[in-house]
Structure 1
Amino acid sequence: MLQLEFRTDLGAKVTVEVPSPDKLLEVQAYYGARGWTSGEVPSGGYVFPYDNEADFNWSLIGARPFRNSEGEIMVMHRGHAYRRRELEAVDSRKIKLPAAIKYSRGAKNTDPPSVREKADGDFEYVSLCIFRGGKRQERYAGKASLVAQPQANAAD
């Protein structure tokens, strides 16, 4: 029997038994939909295939997508709001990267150095996840997300 340790949205630690390996993501999604998280976000954030972003099942990582007051797509995870950023492909002599979509936020002085990433100037940020390259994996798919939904008109 497998066991997963979660941290609830209120910080309590809970261990849950998983009946079989093929039920692992189902259990993560079930508790993640309640805001519970398992494990720590890796340095640089989770990496998922680019084609999974439009309908990614955010409950797998205990996150919830929303639109802020300016209409931007955001994700709430462990009390932090991460902004959706589209990164253009890079093709230079030194590096070649496909286009990507990253969810990140500005770093806070309480963030450990291991999760901080440098940007232009003195600005630092923390990444939750990046969608880049790779083949789509149906195991990460959920319902259509805010990305696939048209933005509501304020006049409606």
Structure 2
Amino acid sequence: MRLKVRFETPIGVPVEAELEDGEDLYAVLRERGAAGWTAVRLRYQGIVLPLACERCFDWRLLGAKVVESGGFVEAVTLGGAVYKRRDLAERRDLPRVIKYSRGAREGDPPHLVEGSNQDRYVTLVRFVGEGSCPPEFCREG
């Protein structure tokens, strides 16, 4: 079975890649993602992954670049936007959430924007809940 993946280059050029039989999808995503290509489409409340993925997640899978400080991921960049790390502590009825989001812009599609009138934002990824992280989502090493 052949698999087609649609990417967008850092300058917005759409590219379609066809994977050969036996070719590893995650290896291709990492390779292209390291060059800033992305196959990701933003969605309301972002991509949702188990909290366990936050420490090992390989941002190249999304085409994002990591902004680190002292070995700690502070933010990621994708498509010219900076998504800051926000650690939302567990509350009475809500679990702990670590998310990477940015302030909403005037031109953002309404279906991506969360929050109230003053605090509007767009989320790239939310790490929440129990469960283990699939090994293919983790950085090597």
TM category (shorter chain) comes to: 0.7 to 0.9
Asked if structure 1 preserves the Cα contact closer than 8 Å seen for 2:83 and 2:124, the reply is: yes
State the distance in 1 between where 2:115 and 2:91 align: 18
Aligned residue number for residue 118 of structure 1: 115
Give the partner amino acid of 1:124: R
- Among 99, 104, 109, the alignment partner of 1:102 is 99
Q: How does 1:144-155 map to 2 (within 5 A)?
A: none
Q: How does 1:120-135 map to 2 (within 5 A)?
A: 122-133=118-129, 134-135=131-132
Aligned residue number for residue 42 of structure 2: 41
- Name the % identity: 34
How big is the shift at 1:22? 6.7
Change (3 A) 1:22 1:135: farther
TM-score (norm 1): 0.80
State the distance in 1 between where 2:42 and 2:58 align: 16
Give the partner amino acid of 2:35: R
Gaps spanning 5+ residues in structure 1: where?
Answer: 145-156
Change (3 A) 1:82 1:116: same
Q: How does 1:1-156 map to 2 (within 5 A)?
A: 1-20=2-21, 23-67=24-68, 73-91=74-92, 96-119=93-116, 122-133=118-129, 134-143=131-140
Give the partner amino acid of 1:109: E
Gaps spanning 5+ residues in structure 2: where?
Answer: none
Give the partner amino acid of 1:107: A
Asked if structure 2 preserves the Cα contact closer than 8 Å seen for 1:56 and 1:143, the reply is: no
User: 4+ residue runs of structure 1 moved beyond 3 angstroms?
Assistant: none
How big is the shift at 1:143? 4.5
How big is the shift at 1:23? 1.4
Higher-Rg member (1/2): 1
State the distance in 1 between where 2:132 and 2:18 align: 30
How big is the shift at 1:54? 1.0
* Deviations, residues 131-152 of structure 1 (Å, cap 9, x unaligned): 11132211110047xxxxxxxx
State the distance in 1 between where 2:6 and 2:22 align: 15
State the distance in 1 between where 2:34 and 2:119 align: 32
Asked if structure 2 preserves the Cα contact closer than 8 Å seen for 1:103 and 1:127, the reply is: yes
Give the partner amino acid of 2:44: S
Say how many residue pairs are matched. Answer: 137
